[in-house]
Amino acid sequence: MIVSRFPFRFVLASALAAALLPANAAAQEAPRRMPAPIVYFDIAGPADAGQAAFYEKVFGWTAGPGGVVAVPVSGPVLPGTLRTDPAQKVIYIGVTDVAATLAEIEAHGGKTVAPRFVVPGVVVLGLFTDPAGNAMGLVELTADGKTRIP
């Protein structure tokens, strides 16, 4: 029976490296912070834009007094991006059918910016503006609420 000596050498080298490092090497490293979660969003628009009615009719979000709206959150959230495009806020909303939702958005005063499109191996998206002109996106979900990956 032949036994490889590689695992033993690896363990020995690791033990030697740990023994030779200064005892406070870990203390010298910068402390790692937990990533900050997104905990709030706000969608602005003029009073006459009909924002509350739009979001209730299209997405089922009911706004209370002062425009306060509680929205279900699906997690973990897909990775975000930091872009070099002109500054803008974009919220992506999960729906089961991007094309049908874009049609509903247009029927209630929003506009399609980009019809349903596929990012191969990543996601199915659609982009729109709400009646106030806020840029938003749609992410297509499967029936069980997971991101549809084409």
Specify the CATH number for the domain of residue 131. 3.10.180.10
Whether residue 108 contacts residue 54, with contact meaning beta carbons closer than 8 Å, is answered with yes
Tens digit of pLDDT for each residue in 36-66? Answer: 667 678 888 887 778 999 999 999 998 888 8
- Interstrand relation of 135-140 and 111-119 (parallel, antiparallel or unpaired): unpaired
Could you give the CA distance from residue 127 to residue 124 in angstroms, rounded to a whole number?
Answer: 11
pLDDT of residue 5: 40
Residue 100 lies in domain = 49-140
pLDDT of residue 8: 32
Length of the chain: 150
Tell me if 108 is assigned to some domain: yes
pLDDT of residue 103: 98
DSSP state of 121: T
Work out the angle between the directed axes of helices 51-59 and 98-107 (0-180°, nearest 10): 150
pLDDT of residue 47: 79
Show the CA angle centred on residue 120, arms to residues 37 and 126, nearest 5°.
Answer: 65
Confidence check: pLDDT of 11 > 60: no
Tell me if 41 is assigned to some domain: no
Rg (CA), the chain: 24
Total structural domains in the chain? Answer: 1
pLDDT of residue 3: 41
Tell me if 8 is assigned to some domain: no
Phi, psi of 127 (to 5 degrees): -125, 145
Whether residue 126 contacts residue 115, with contact meaning beta carbons closer than 8 Å, is answered with yes
Tens digit of pLDDT for each residue in 56-106? Answer: 999 999 888 888 888 888 766 667 777 777 777 788 999 999 999 999 999
Of the pLDDT bands very low, low, confident and very high (cuts 50, 70, 90), residue 127 is very high
